[in-house]
């Protein structure tokens, strides 16, 4: 499969009054056509920052300071904002934002909000845009009656479907889903997951699926990328992370150990002691060494590179390739 997205040495920092927060520090990965890449890690590890960075929309005072974001063989890092809005955002890469209610304006009905988004990107008659909107509203399982209604008149699942339709109606190749099932009940979560899987199959979309829920990633993702403290700890296929052999990085092992299992009797869930480091002043060496149960002197002094230890399996851990 060809690559639809390549990220090389991406650095995104927040320039605050207290100092520079290195939220993304030298991140590199790729996304293949028709693939779902699951992005996991604790809160504050850089998952949403990465999603917003790929759209070149970092929250203030964030700024991309280095690296490449290559979409369709074009590095979008140096594009002007107007060109980025017209040609890239929502046309080639879009995002399903975390918390559907926060993504919708409460004083406008759904039709007006979707029309405004579409007309900002495409020059066409309103009648033509309405046909596109109706097509995708129906595609995500909603009736056209929804277009007349306001966000507060819709359930959480319906609002999430509207946000998904808005992310899709310009037919981008890449969709970033930032915790799309957060704050939804279990039944609606399952419906949204099944909808995203259907859309991926029908439209040959490439997804970056961000979530804290490793069980959900096991169901939807083809590959898993684990982030810790603004860096990639491990990337592997679904089988390499969830299979019998299991993951290689101690952090990934800790995350899986803290996940309940339906088909296995677990006397006590494991946990990772401590908290992620302050990225104003990140630790030397491996950023996980202060919480790692197998760290040794080299982990404290030297930062481990992200190395391929087997085909498609990359790990940043001295224990995995330096024993």
pLDDT at position 276, please? 92
pLDDT at position 322, please? 54
Q: What predicted TM-score, i.e. pTM, was given to this entire model? A: 0.92
201 phi, psi to nearest 5 deg: -70, -45
- Give the tens place of pLDDT for each residue, 154-179: 998 899 899 999 999 889 999 999 98
Question: What size, in residues, is the chain?
Answer: 323
Six-digit token pair at 224? 């898993």
Q: Please state whether the peptide bond connecting residue 321 to the residue before it is cis, i.e. omega within 30 degrees of 0.
A: no
DSSP state of 89: B
The partner residues of 226 in beta bridges, in order of sequence, read: 40, 234
- For residues 64 and 68, what is the distance between their CA atoms, to the nearest angstrom? 10
pLDDT at position 278, please? 92
pLDDT at position 300, please? 95
pLDDT at position 107, please? 92
Domain over 3-92+172-321 is classified CATH 3.40.50.300: yes
Q: Report, as ranges of residue numbers, the positions in the chain whose pLDDT lies below 70.
A: 1, 100, 261-267, 322-323
Neighbouring residues of 104: CB distance < 8 A, sequence distance ≥ 6: 110, 113, 151, 159, 162, 163
pLDDT at position 253, please? 93
Where along the chain do its domains lie? 3-92+172-321
pLDDT at position 10, please? 97
């Amino acid at each position: 499969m060809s690559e639809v997205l390549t990220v090389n040495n991406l650095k995104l920092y927040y320039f605050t009054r207290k100092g520079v927060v290195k939220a993304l520090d030298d991140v590199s990965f790729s996304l293949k056509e028709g693939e779902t890449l699951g992005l996991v890690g604790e809160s504050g590890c850089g998952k949403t920052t990465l999603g917003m960075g790929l759209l070149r929309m970092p929250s203030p005072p964030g700024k991309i300071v280095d690296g490449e974001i290559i979409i369709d063989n074009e590095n979008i890092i140096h594009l002007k904002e107007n060109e980025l809005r017209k040609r890239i955002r929502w046309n080639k890469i879009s995002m399903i934002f975390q918390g559907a209610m926060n993504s919708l304006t409460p004083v406008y009905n759904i039709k007006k909000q979707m029309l405004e988004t579409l007309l900002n990107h495409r020059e066409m008659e309103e009648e033509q845009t309405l046909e596109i909107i109706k097509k995708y509203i129906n595609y995500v399982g909603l009736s056209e009656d929804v277009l007349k209604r306001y966000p507060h008149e819709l359930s959480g699942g319906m609002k999430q479907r509207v946000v998904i339709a808005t992310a899709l109606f310009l037919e981008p190749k890449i969709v970033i889903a930032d915790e799309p099932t957060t704050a939804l009940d279990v039944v609606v979560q399952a419906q949204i997951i099944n909808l995203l899987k259907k859309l991926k199959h029908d439209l040959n979309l490439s997804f970056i699926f961000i979530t804290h829920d490793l069980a959900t990633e096991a169901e939807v993702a083809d590959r898993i990328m684990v982030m810790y403290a603004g860096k990639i700890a491990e990337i592997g296929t679904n089988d390499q992370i969830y299979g019998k052999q299991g993951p290689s990085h101690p952090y990934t092992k800790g995350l899986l150990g803290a996940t309940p299992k339906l088909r296995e009797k677990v006397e006590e869930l494991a946990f990772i002691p401590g908290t992620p480091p302050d990225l104003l002043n990140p630790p030397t060496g491996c950023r996980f060494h202060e919480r790692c149960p197998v760290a040794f002197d080299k982990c404290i002094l030297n930062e481990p590179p992200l190395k391929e230890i087997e085909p498609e399996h990359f790990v940043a851990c001295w224990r995995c390739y330096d024993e």
